[in-house]
Chain A
């Protein structure tokens, strides 16, 4: 009776075993590429600001600070983005020869239309966040932040950018890719030292009113 071999007669069993596992690893690599590279490309659509805006020109050229436009009002509420009217305080006429500048004056300043800026970190309605409680006055009680440092703790530091960053919109949720999640808030709120000093409790109702 002929021998029945479970393995090839050439005895190359190790190679055979490796070849046997190859499809698994191919699958693994495909999944990893798909998940880490292709999936994010598919999930987000790229958008650009409706008007080209250079923070660098305003900060370095005009000597402005974040709070020159994104200021807190007298009552402590955050003004957010400047209105067309406030931009027009300087840009009532085109400054320089940039055609984008002329377009801004024509389309927005002259018509009074507000620019629909894309906000990178707009929080959903179920989150209450007050900039007043996260101001230089409160954070700099212990820290020694510059305004840019403080703002860029949470926001992308655009102070030195000439072009506004691309806005990645999640196709499913319609939120910006950079919208902060709870864990980012908790970095400070759950910090024991913060709690002791600022009483910034990590309780749900602090943010979810």
Chain B
């Protein structure tokens, strides 16, 4: 039978009708939509067994303990570690970002050398080795080393190198540990200051932003949390005195506004009231201190600090009433404070009988160096990098021929950052061991990539402020990229090439010796356990009243307004800039696009004749920054707050060019008596842009 046109159309109609009751169109539609999810450029999970490894963060300044969740050999998530004393079930936003930071676009992937035209060229490690040995060999006798790692044994390796191949110029990037060490030494103490916040029933933080930036923040937050169970009366009172209602003030029971840089005076005001109430201390120069404190009457303290005399009296009375009160003195933004401030804080603790007692101020033992010729902790703490740079700038000291940076970013993170970069320019050869292409790396002749904390073996010894002697290891939990080298082993080998004898043959040997010196068990540490000790160093501290009298004086500042930098743990440090995932932590009126917002209260805004969102220029002799105005009432009069950690000129697209670097405004001064560099007070003038 021939198929005519009509028959064919009937057949097609039959096929069409039939197809509609088969899976063909529906299944194809469904599969086509699934197929679009499998395009090869769409990222997909890589399977593997899940495991957890306990370690400690070398990126977060609070040295938080953490559990890393691995899928196969890849870290995918950072979790809190309940068993780590520096974590206790808490975690910091910086540590959380660490797994992502392994893939940061700012990571240095291979050794880089600055070419004649100023551009960076990738070189092999062999070329880098040869160049480094040649340059450092030529600079022998004039080498300075700068470390940005405050708690690691790498400092012993670097300081030994500086001593043997240089002129003893080893410096730590400035933190609060140095003024604290200086204060303790001046008062005749040994070891390291530890604040037993965990066992205190009344914590007075003068300046020290204990819940955000001061000391081992996450462990302090854990203590805060444990003492204040939800729905129950707080077992511990927290009081914060400072210019800004920061995170600590927000969590505290009481915020006592005082001007930035007047923390020491406030502490002496407390001492005055305590002595008046009969407090005493067993120190040779108590009477000298008593007469010093005599002058700091509530009225005088109120005048200098801008606080209310009644509030001061109430705080002193509460301290006297508490069983285990503790006073923590420091800087609002974790640096730049003077030794005088810390000394005043120690003095108050002495009057409260809080020395080496539970819930008090402890003098913790510090292990002896394990590397030949390495500086002791006390010697390291005595070295003042900002002061050294200032001396070079003033021509009082020759710039070294070579500078070695280890995870340090002075070109961004020092006060008067631009000036400091210029001083660095006087050094003819600079090399940095860094994970990220930061501002300092951009100034260096040679950039050597080092693994991140998750990829290397490293250590943490008692972070400043923690209440117990502690030692733990950061263990390599992720495979190290082929083109980076761990700095510990590299510098040990480099020292050998330069003819220096460090007395150790490998980095692991350094750590093993350090563990032994701390009385810790190496195998247990390698299993992820943390060594802690309740040991304290006994001491008869003096008040160092003469020195305190000189150092605690508040100098008049330039301009009519004060700058109070605000440091937040999530925003990033000089070492990390802002982890991309943490950009969401920046609030709406802290940064808009690339424009920085600074905050002031309504009275200050009226005085300046500005309104919310107005453009202003904040300047002083150190520099100037442009910003817009945000109004926030939790700030003292005549004070503006500026978020730290912004205004990077290096790193990646998530940090570079966003906002301004407040360090530009912080002017270095020198503390009377101790000679320590300080920059916790900055006066500025403000004008409408």
- Measured CB to CB, the residues of A under 8 A from B are 20-32, 34-36, 39-40, 43, 73, 75, 77, 79-80, 83, 124-126, 170, 172-175
Q: How far is the CB of A36 from chain B (nearest CB, A)?
A: 6
- The B1-22 residues at the A interface (CB cut-off 8 A) are 3, 6-8, 10-19, 21-22
CB pair A32–B21 under 8 Å, yes or no, is yes
CB pair B37–A126 under 8 Å, yes or no, is yes
Q: How far is the CB of A54 from chain B (nearest CB, A)?
A: 24
Partner of B14, one of A25, A73, A174: A25
**CB closest chain-B residue, reference A42:** B24
| Residues of A contacting B11 in the complex (Cβ-Cβ under 8 angstroms) | 23-24, 26-27
Give the distance in Å from the alpha carbon of A94 to the alpha carbon of B49 in the complex: 26
**B120 at interface by CB-CB < 8 Å:** no
CB pair A27–B27 under 8 Å, yes or no, is no
**CB closest chain-B residue, reference A31:** B18
Q: Decide: A175 near B34, CB < 8 A? Known: A79-B49, A125-B44.
A: yes
**CB closest chain-A residue, reference B31:** A172
Q: How far is the CB of A34 from chain B (nearest CB, A)?
A: 7
4 tightest A-B contacts by CB? A35-B22, A27-B14, A31-B18, A24-B14
Q: How far is the CB of A130 from chain B (nearest CB, A)?
A: 12
Give the distance in Å from the alpha carbon of A73 to the alpha carbon of B71 in the complex: 13
| Residues of A contacting B52 in the complex (Cβ-Cβ under 8 angstroms) | 75
Give the distance in Å from the alpha carbon of A73 to the alpha carbon of B51 in the complex: 9
**B689 at interface by CB-CB < 8 Å:** no
**CB closest chain-B residue, reference A79:** B49
CB pair A21–B10 under 8 Å, yes or no, is yes
CB pair B13–A24 under 8 Å, yes or no, is yes
**CB closest chain-A residue, reference B15:** A27
| Residues of A contacting B15 in the complex (Cβ-Cβ under 8 angstroms) | 27-28, 30-31
Give the distance in Å from the alpha carbon of A75 to the alpha carbon of B49 in the complex: 12
Given contacts A27-B15, A30-B14, A30-B18, 19 further A-B contacts (CB under 8 A): A21-B10, A22-B7, A24-B10, A25-B14, A26-B14, A28-B15, A30-B15, A35-B19, A35-B21, A35-B22, A36-B22, A39-B22, A39-B24, A39-B27, A43-B31, A79-B49, A125-B45, A126-B37, A172-B34
7 contacts between A and B (CB under 8 A): A23-B10, A24-B11, A24-B17, A36-B23, A75-B50, A172-B28, A174-B38
Give the distance in Å from the alpha carbon of A23 to the alpha carbon of B2 in the complex: 11
Q: How far is the CB of A20 from chain B (nearest CB, A)?
A: 7
- The B378-427 residues at the A interface (CB cut-off 8 A) are none
CB pair B49–A27 under 8 Å, yes or no, is no
**B35 at interface by CB-CB < 8 Å:** yes
| Residues of A contacting B6 in the complex (Cβ-Cβ under 8 angstroms) | 20
Q: How far is the CB of B35 from chain A (nearest CB, A)?
A: 5
Partner of A34, one of B24, B27, B34, B50: B24
| Residues of B contacting A35 in the complex (Cβ-Cβ under 8 angstroms) | 18-19, 21-24
Main SS at interface, chain B: helix
| Residues of A contacting B556 in the complex (Cβ-Cβ under 8 angstroms) | none
**B32 at interface by CB-CB < 8 Å:** yes
Q: How far is the CB of A114 from chain B (nearest CB, A)?
A: 10
Q: How far is the CB of A209 from chain B (nearest CB, A)?
A: 12
CB pair B23–A40 under 8 Å, yes or no, is yes
| Residues of B contacting A172 in the complex (Cβ-Cβ under 8 angstroms) | 28, 31-32, 34-35
**CB closest chain-B residue, reference A77:** B50
| Residues of B contacting A79 in the complex (Cβ-Cβ under 8 angstroms) | 49
Q: Decide: A32 near B18, CB < 8 A? Known: A23-B3, A23-B8.
A: yes
| Residues of A contacting B8 in the complex (Cβ-Cβ under 8 angstroms) | 23
**CB closest chain-A residue, reference B32:** A172
| Residues of A contacting B13 in the complex (Cβ-Cβ under 8 angstroms) | 24, 27
Q: Decide: A173 near B50, CB < 8 A? Known: A20-B10, A43-B27.
A: no
| Residues of A contacting B50 in the complex (Cβ-Cβ under 8 angstroms) | 73, 75, 77
Give the distance in Å from the alpha carbon of A105 to the alpha carbon of B14 in the complex: 57
Give the distance in Å from the alpha carbon of A174 to the alpha carbon of B37 in the complex: 11
Give the distance in Å from the alpha carbon of A56 to the alpha carbon of B10 in the complex: 54
Give the distance in Å from the alpha carbon of A25 to the alpha carbon of B11 in the complex: 7
Give the distance in Å from the alpha carbon of A77 to the alpha carbon of B49 in the complex: 9
CB pair A23–B38 under 8 Å, yes or no, is no
**CB closest chain-A residue, reference B26:** A35
| Residues of B contacting A170 in the complex (Cβ-Cβ under 8 angstroms) | 31
| Residues of B contacting A175 in the complex (Cβ-Cβ under 8 angstroms) | 34
Give the distance in Å from the alpha carbon of A175 to the alpha carbon of B37 in the complex: 11
CB pair A34–B22 under 8 Å, yes or no, is yes
Give the distance in Å from the alpha carbon of A29 to the alpha carbon of B18 in the complex: 7
| Residues of A contacting B10 in the complex (Cβ-Cβ under 8 angstroms) | 20-24, 27
| Residues of B contacting A173 in the complex (Cβ-Cβ under 8 angstroms) | 31, 34-35, 38
**CB closest chain-A residue, reference B45:** A125
Give the distance in Å from the alpha carbon of A160 to the alpha carbon of B563 in the complex: 76
Q: How far is the CB of B598 from chain A (nearest CB, A)?
A: 38
Q: How far is the CB of B547 from chain A (nearest CB, A)?
A: 55
Chain B 200-211 per-residue mask, 1 if CB under 8 angstroms from chain A, else 0: 000000000000
Q: How far is the CB of B18 from chain A (nearest CB, A)?
A: 3
| Residues of A contacting B22 in the complex (Cβ-Cβ under 8 angstroms) | 31-32, 34-36, 39
Give the distance in Å from the alpha carbon of A133 to the alpha carbon of B15 in the complex: 47
CB pair B18–A28 under 8 Å, yes or no, is yes
CB pair A27–B23 under 8 Å, yes or no, is no
Give the distance in Å from the alpha carbon of A40 to the alpha carbon of B19 in the complex: 13
**CB closest chain-B residue, reference A78:** B50
Give the distance in Å from the alpha carbon of A110 to the alpha carbon of B17 in the complex: 58
Give the distance in Å from the alpha carbon of A25 to the alpha carbon of B15 in the complex: 8
Give the distance in Å from the alpha carbon of A126 to the alpha carbon of B44 in the complex: 9
| Residues of B contacting A29 in the complex (Cβ-Cβ under 8 angstroms) | 14, 18
| Residues of B contacting A73 in the complex (Cβ-Cβ under 8 angstroms) | 50
Q: Decide: A28 near B31, CB < 8 A? Known: A35-B19, A39-B23, A125-B44.
A: no
| Residues of B contacting A28 in the complex (Cβ-Cβ under 8 angstroms) | 14-15, 17-18
Give the distance in Å from the alpha carbon of A40 to the alpha carbon of B12 in the complex: 21
Q: How far is the CB of B205 from chain A (nearest CB, A)?
A: 37
**CB closest chain-B residue, reference A21:** B10
